[in-house]
Amino acid sequence: MRNPIVAKLTAVAALALLLTSCTSAPRGGADLLPGPIPTDASFAPAPSAPPAPQFTGELLDGSSVDAADLWDGRPLILQFMTGWCTQCVEQAKDLDAVADEYGDAVSIVYVSGDDKIDSLTKFLNDNNVVFPVVDDTKLQVWRSYAVVEPPMTALIDAEGGLVRMWPGGASKAQLDDDLTKLVTLGG
């Protein structure tokens, strides 16, 4: 025979655990923005880069973000994606590798065109995405960058110049080709 007090305590603990998991902040919030610019990093502007389109947006945790703050002082990679995009999975791996190499010397921000939060959440969880995500369900940021379909990668220099865009997304090697011209680590 089961102890009724233990049964009630178990039920209360299970309910508390369920409520805690339901109220946790979604992936893709402001807590994932990069920290201070590393003191051992220096940055160069891209020659003849036109200004990148400005935007303000909202991260998945409800924090507002301004593009100029994202690229202020360091290069920014914008990754346009959706949860249903199969190519975006490979892009996530490449961006993880870039983040491992460059750390906080480069900002990486996803811009999601998803209108279904379940699909986006599944993608972020399945691929362990550790970058902030701009919620762009109205596709305003997508349109300002002329994005038609995901993935699309945009590289912006530390002064806000649009260095390059890659329809179909950029590989780590492609990003390295430009980042090595824009970022010097270790001195």
- Tokens describing residue 83: 């949860």
Does the pLDDT at position 6 exceed 50? no
Distance of CA 72 to the CA centre of its chain: 16
32-89 pLDDT, tens digit each = 777 787 888 878 877 788 999 999 999 999 999 999 888 888 999 999 999 999 999 9
Rg of the chain over Cα atoms, rounded to whole angstroms, equals 19
pLDDT score for 166 = 97
- How does residue 94 score in pLDDT terms, banded at 50, 70 and 90? very high
Domains and CATH numbers, the chain: 26-185 (3.40.30.10)
DSSP 8-class letter at 31: G
Q: Which alpha helices (H) appear in 46-164, and where do they start and end? A: 67-70, 87-102, 117-126, 140-144
Taking residues 12-35, report their average pLDDT: 58
Does the pLDDT at position 19 exceed 80? no
User: How far apart (Å, rounded) are the C-alpha atoms in residues 1 and 5?
Assistant: 12
113-171 pLDDT, tens digit each = 988 888 899 999 999 999 999 999 999 999 999 999 999 999 999 999 999 999 999 99
Evaluated on CA atoms 180, 185, 186, 187, the torsion sign reads positive
- For residues 102 and 17, the model is more confident at 102
Q: Which pTM was predicted?
A: 0.80
